[in-house]
């Protein structure tokens, strides 16, 4: 496809002919070459696995695709099904795989530690958790120097809420509509809408208007959105608040980047009301945005508490909370303990992930490849009316589909059709947004420009067939 584009450029110059999308879409694109042969698979087939899931696992467990995929192997940015077919993983297991599937450095660290000591709680000393905490703390600005290890993003956000309430002596929390912070009862209450999770009684939780530049009521006007937070404090919390929590780019919400300058305004408001500011970096952290290592840095702020999970462990059950010594001192008045948090195997694996990101310059890589991907998607947007918005940073990208650009009517059915078509072509993306009409493109950080071209060409081909 790259050669095809070069020939077109020579033939037509910089201007693109109106029929260009049809020219690109005459044949389905092919996956980039990849020097790896998956191992023969002789295990249970998809139908058998699916029946077992339905019989023995909770009925709330959902799956992608009309015919669920039986994924049996992964290597870097690719996954393989039971028949050995290769797929481009543009979703990274819900943004969990950062270094790449089965990265040898991460695997080696896990294997070597597992052979020595698989588990020892923090009531004993072990260097792995201390080494990992030191390396992680070095990645943060300001006075964010104290690390707590947990097992998931939900648990990290639970702990952050506890810290905020204990430190301030207040109960009221403010979060954003359309945000997502976990699957526990407390973290589900931080989400204002019941589209994804259950309607949990919200108590002392207040939900501010979402500062969404594309769909938000105030467009990109950060001041108007921030005033809504002030109103919640003035009229809903009697002037006192424990904390404010938000993602910098909403993940499940559809890769929504907050209005520019929003967090700086809100952090000032919340701190004046005695509250602390929590940044949920579960999906945006570890260089994924390209321009910065942490998502909150894109808004020019330093939070009081930062939560993270998913990409921190490349698939290991691992999460963390980083805060200041002042806030940490409050927890020291009682016992704060996690049996598995920071166990030797997860700590060794997490440290290996940090080192891979640094050694392979994944942040710079994300910026470079992400810019290329966004440019190609925006070019596609010029040729297909169904693409209402292309947004994101680095390798955290959203493509929102609409049936009417002026009304921004969600293209729900079309999104579902294209989702299946992309899978047929060998591309696995995520879906999100309030209406399920946003493609979430958040691949492993080893994703290449050739992969980006294949993804866009596959989307081009699929849209031409709608």
CATH number (domain holding residue 353): 3.40.640.10
Specify the residue for token string 């920071």: 342
CA distance 352 to 356: 6
How many domains are there within the chain?
A: 1
E strand or H helix that includes residue 103: none
CA dihedral sign, ordered 120, 122, 126, 131: positive
Domain that holds residue 232: 105-359
CA distance 350 to 392: 26
User: pTM higher than 0.85, yes or no?
Assistant: yes
CA distance 397 to 402: 17
Structural domain contains residue 89: no
DSSP string, 181-237: --SSHHHHHT-S--SSS-----TTEEEEPP--TTT-TTTT-HHHHHHHHHHHHHHHS
Taking each helix axis from N to C end, the angle separating 344-359 and 104-116, rounded to the nearest 10 degrees, works out to 160
- Best CA proximity match to 147, nearest among 348, 272, 328: 328
Structural domain contains residue 29: no
| Predicted local distance difference test score (pLDDT) of residue 184 | 86
CA distance 439 to 399: 5
| Predicted local distance difference test score (pLDDT) of residue 195 | 56
| Predicted local distance difference test score (pLDDT) of residue 71 | 97
Structural domain contains residue 367: no
CA distance 16 to 34: 31
CA distance 271 to 241: 9
Round to the nearest angstrom and report the end-to-end CA distance of the chain. Answer: 21
Structural domain contains residue 461: no
| Predicted local distance difference test score (pLDDT) of residue 334 | 82
For 215, phi then psi, to 5°, come to: -110, -10
Structural domain contains residue 349: yes
| Predicted local distance difference test score (pLDDT) of residue 194 | 57
Structural domain contains residue 223: yes
Specify the residue for token string 């650009």: 405
Query: Over its length of 466 residues, how does the chain's per-residue pLDDT go in tens digits?
Result: 444 444 334 333 433 333 334 444 567 999 999 999 999 999 999 999 999 999 999 998 889 999 999 999 999 999 999 999 999 999 998 999 999 999 999 999 999 999 999 998 888 999 999 999 999 999 999 999 999 999 999 999 999 999 999 999 999 999 999 999 998 888 888 876 655 556 665 668 999 999 999 999 999 999 999 999 999 999 988 889 999 999 999 999 999 999 999 999 999 999 999 999 999 999 999 999 999 999 999 999 999 999 999 999 999 999 999 999 999 999 998 888 889 999 999 999 999 999 999 999 999 999 999 999 999 999 999 999 999 999 999 999 999 999 999 999 999 999 999 999 999 999 999 999 999 999 999 999 999 999 999 999 999 999 999 8
For 388, phi then psi, to 5°, come to: -85, -35
Structural domain contains residue 464: no
Helix residue ranges, H only, 332-398: 344-359, 362-383
CB 274 within 8 A of CB 268: no
CB 412 within 8 A of CB 402: no
Specify the residue for token string 């709680």: 121
Q: Which residues contact 364 (CB under 8 A, 6 or more apart)?
A: 290
Q: Which residues contact 80 (CB under 8 A, 6 or more apart)?
A: 38, 71, 72, 73, 74, 86, 87
| Predicted local distance difference test score (pLDDT) of residue 3 | 43
Structural domain contains residue 80: no
| Predicted local distance difference test score (pLDDT) of residue 25 | 52
CB 276 within 8 A of CB 167: yes
| Predicted local distance difference test score (pLDDT) of residue 252 | 93
- Best CA proximity match to 355, nearest among 136, 142, 146: 136
For 427, phi then psi, to 5°, come to: -120, 125
């Amino acid at each position: 496809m790259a050669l095809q584009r070069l020939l077109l450029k020579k033939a037509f110059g910089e201007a693109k002919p109106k029929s260009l999308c049809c020219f690109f879409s005459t044949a389905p694109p092919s996956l980039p070459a990849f020097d790896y042969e998956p191992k023969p698979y002789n295990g249970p087939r998809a139908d058998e696995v699916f029946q077992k899931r339905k019989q023995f696992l909770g009925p709330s467990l959902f799956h992608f695709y009309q015919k669920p995929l039986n994924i049996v192997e992964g290597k870097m940015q690719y996954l393989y099904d039971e028949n050995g077919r290769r797929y481009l993983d543009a979703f990274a297991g819900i943004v969990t795989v950062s270094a790449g599937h089965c990265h040898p450095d991460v695997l080696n660290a896990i294997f070597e530690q597992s052979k020595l000591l698989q588990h020892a709680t923090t009531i004993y000393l072990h260097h792995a958790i201390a080494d990992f905490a030191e390396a992680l703390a070095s990645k943060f600005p300001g006075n964010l120097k104290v690390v707590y290890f947990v097992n998931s993003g939900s648990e990290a956000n639970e702990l952050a809420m506890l810290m905020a309430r204990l430190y301030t002596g207040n109960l009221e929390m403010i979060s954003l509509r359309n945000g997502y912070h976990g699957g526990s009862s407390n973290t589900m209450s931080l989400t204002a809408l019941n589209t994804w999770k259950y309607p949990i009684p919200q108590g002392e939780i207040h939900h501010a208007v979402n500062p969404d530049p594309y769909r938000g009521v105030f467009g990109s006007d950060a001041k108007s959105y921030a005033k809504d937070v002030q109103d919640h404090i003035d009229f809903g919390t009697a002037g006192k608040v424990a904390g404010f929590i938000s993602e910098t780019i909403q993940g499940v919400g559809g890769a929504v980047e907050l209005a520019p300058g929003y967090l700086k305004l809100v952090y000032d408001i919340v701190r004046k009301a005695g509250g602390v500011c929590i940044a949920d970096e579960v999906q945006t952290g570890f260089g994924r945005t390209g321009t910065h290592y942490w998502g909150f840095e894109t808004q020019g702020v330093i939070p009081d508490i930062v939560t993270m999970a998913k990409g921190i462990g490349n698939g290991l059950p691992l999460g963390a909370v980083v805060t200041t010594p002042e806030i940490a001192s409050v927890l020291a008045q009682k016992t704060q303990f996690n049996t598995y948090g920071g166990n030797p195997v997860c700590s060794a694996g997490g440290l290996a992930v940090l080192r891979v990101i640094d050694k392979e310059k994944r942040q710079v890589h994300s910026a470079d490849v992400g810019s290329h991907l966004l440019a190609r998607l925006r070019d596609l947007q010029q040729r297909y009316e169904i693409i209402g918005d292309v947004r994101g940073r680095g390798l955290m990208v959203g493509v929102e589909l609409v049936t009417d650009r002026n009304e921004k009517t969600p293209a729900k059915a079309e999104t579902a059709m294209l989702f299946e078509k992309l899978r047929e072509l060998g591309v696995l993306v995520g879906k999100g947004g309030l209406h399920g009409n946003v493609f979430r493109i958040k691949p492993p950080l080893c994703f290449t420009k050739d992969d980006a071209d294949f993804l866009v060409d596959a989307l081009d081909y699929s849209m031409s067939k709608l």
